[in-house]
Amino acid sequence: MKLEQLNNVYFIGIGGIGMSALARYFMAKGVAVGGYDKTKTDLTDALVDLGVAIHFDDDVKQIEPRFLDANKTLIVYTPAIPKSHSELTYFMSNGFEVLKRSQVLGEITKQTFCLAVAGTHGKTTTTSILGHLLNACDVEVTAFLGGISENYNSNLILNGTEVTVVEADEFDRSFLTLSPDFACITSMDADHLDIYGDASELVKSFEDFSKKIKPNGKLFVKNGLPIKGITYGIEDDSDYSVKNIKIINGSYVFDVKTPNALLENFKFSLPGRHNLSNALIALAMSVEYGLPHPQLAKGLASYKGVKRRFTYQIKTDDLVYIDDYAHHPEEINAVHQAVREMYPDKKVLAVFQPHLFSRTKDFADDFAESLSKFDAVFLLDIYPARELPIEGVNSEWLLGKIKNDNKKLVQKSELIQAITSQDAPIILTIGAGDIGEEVKHIKKALSLAS
């Protein structure tokens, strides 16, 4: 089935951040879009407002008839959907073309100049910066984002089809369906060990990904990673390096050393060296693509960030509330570095919801070390996502490993009361589960309390 000849696309797991971006893409193309998800969220509400037919029970009878024509409908599913899912089973058994989300992305990008962002951390922010820079430079770009851009209030930037920007997701080796012209690797820390078994297999998958780049393409790698490419780093001897960093009125101001020149006076408003690194690689890929320094500087200065990536919910002299998607120990370390850099002498309360039993088990000691750095820690129960419980792996077990006298296990129903009774002027909510659904309620309660 050729994508340009599609009548209908039906998504199983349409509420996922990557899936909903694809749904928006096909809607913009004039294709009829429908789907299932198990949970009603802000993302599904936004799709329904666009006219997408969505239901929340795994029930073939609830699917609109137009999506039951195998000759006119493409089925797209996310790997988070179990193979026993009755709708997925129905479509696979009745002659439908059924593709993973990553396979559809691979098809879309084939006919374009593709820039792919890979890495265990930093993909979403880097992708959104890169998409925004290209758009700011009037490139005809479609960017599929793994988060909601603050600039566009969407996880899709749609300004033409000459260039595509995509996240190259290492989960279940999805990124091996892509064949990018330019690609970057931001990090290769151990993760998804439920899929890979051990860290060496994860590294091998990134090596395999690097070989998917088209002939005459370019690979960019963070300095120090064990894969050869154009290197980038902060205040080092990389091919692309951030130099002369200053913090002025809460923003970074810096220069970029390229292989050929020094590009001066960039401004970037996201806190944290990890975000500065993300901005650098987006700039490096843009420079290599051929975009001019003045427009890139203007574009970067106008970048506002991604929701749930060090997002300020409240920012006053007396109270700061920040929400972040961090769900790996290295990401929590990055959040800690950023908050300490911006607020060096203030008490910080971190509220963390672990994501996946397997990830909690694999990195328990690292999570404990990361969380122990904060002044106070609240732990929510583990968000299971696609997994069944693992005996002995729970938040109480993780709490026992945290070396912090001010730590507490909190039920979600008691969270707002627990937060508002604290005296910390800096509050963080961290995690990739449904803690994101609580943010608006926490923000409202804190605003009323102050």
248 is written with which tokens?
Answer: 């002025």
Q: How much is the mean pLDDT over the chain?
A: 92
Dump pLDDT digits (tens) for 121-175.
Answer: 888 999 999 999 999 999 999 999 988 999 999 999 999 999 999 998 876 667 8
How many angstroms separate the CA atoms of 108 and 228, rounded? 28
Kindly state the percentage of the chain with pLDDT values over 90: 74
Binned at pLDDT 50, 70 and 90, residue 2 comes out as: confident
The pLDDT value recorded for residue 170 is 73
**Plot region of 209 (φ>0 → left; ψ -120 to 50 → alpha; else → beta):** alpha
Q: How many Cβ atoms sit within 10 Å of the Cβ of residue 90?
A: 15
How many angstroms separate the CA atoms of 175 and 102, rounded? 7
- Is the pLDDT assigned to residue 21 strictly greater than 90? yes
> Which one-letter DSSP state was computed for residue 432?
S
The pLDDT value recorded for residue 282 is 98
Place of tokens 């969270």: 415
- Give the chain's domains with CATH numbers: 3-100 (3.40.50.720), 112-301 (3.40.1190.10), 311-449 (3.90.190.20)
Dump pLDDT digits (tens) for 34-54.
Answer: 999 998 988 999 999 999 999
How many angstroms separate the CA atoms of 415 and 410, rounded? 6
Least confident of 56-65, 77-86, 178-187: 77-86
The pLDDT value recorded for residue 250 is 77
Please state the pTM of the whole predicted model. Answer: 0.82
How many angstroms separate the CA atoms of 91 and 96, rounded? 6
The pLDDT value recorded for residue 194 is 55
Binned at pLDDT 50, 70 and 90, residue 197 comes out as: low
User: Quick one: how many helices (H) and strands (E) in the chain?
Assistant: 15, 21
For residues 39 and 63, the answer to whether their CB atoms sit within 8 Å is: no
- Is the pLDDT assigned to residue 379 strictly greater than 60? yes
**Plot region of 92 (φ>0 → left; ψ -120 to 50 → alpha; else → beta):** alpha
Binned at pLDDT 50, 70 and 90, residue 115 comes out as: very high
- Is the pLDDT assigned to residue 113 strictly greater than 60? yes
The sign of the torsion formed by the CA atoms of 199, 201, 205, 208 equals positive
The pLDDT value recorded for residue 376 is 96
The pLDDT value recorded for residue 198 is 63
How many angstroms separate the CA atoms of 96 and 23, rounded? 18
What is the average per-residue pLDDT within 424-439? 93
The pLDDT value recorded for residue 11 is 98
The pLDDT value recorded for residue 402 is 96
Binned at pLDDT 50, 70 and 90, residue 386 comes out as: confident
The pLDDT value recorded for residue 4 is 73
How many angstroms separate the CA atoms of 278 and 69, rounded? 44
How many angstroms separate the CA atoms of 186 and 277, rounded? 9
How many angstroms separate the CA atoms of 48 and 194, rounded? 34
Dump pLDDT digits (tens) for 315-353.
Answer: 998 999 999 989 989 899 989 988 998 898 899 999 999
Cβ burial of 185 (10 Å; 0-12, 13-18, 19+) is: buried
399-438 residues labelled b (16+ CB within 10 A) or e (exposed): beebebeebeebeeeebbeebeebebbbbbbbbbbebbeb
- Is the pLDDT assigned to residue 191 strictly greater than 70? no
What is the average per-residue pLDDT within 244-248? 93
User: In sequence order, what are the residues at sequence separation of 6 or more whose Cβ sits closer than 8 angstroms to the Cβ of residue 85?
Assistant: 12, 58
Dump pLDDT digits (tens) for 71-111.
Answer: 999 999 988 888 899 999 999 999 999 999 989 999 999 88
How many angstroms separate the CA atoms of 112 and 273, rounded? 32
How many angstroms separate the CA atoms of 54 and 40, rounded? 9
Binned at pLDDT 50, 70 and 90, residue 260 comes out as: very high
Dump pLDDT digits (tens) for 271-324.
Answer: 888 899 999 999 999 999 999 999 999 999 999 999 888 889 999 989 999 999
Sheet of 97-100: strand order equals: 53-55, 32-36, 8-12, 73-77, 97-100
Beta strands, E only, 316-404: 320-324, 348-352, 376-379
The pLDDT value recorded for residue 195 is 59
Cβ burial of 106 (10 Å; 0-12, 13-18, 19+) is: buried
For residues 329 and 369, the answer to whether their CB atoms sit within 8 Å is: yes
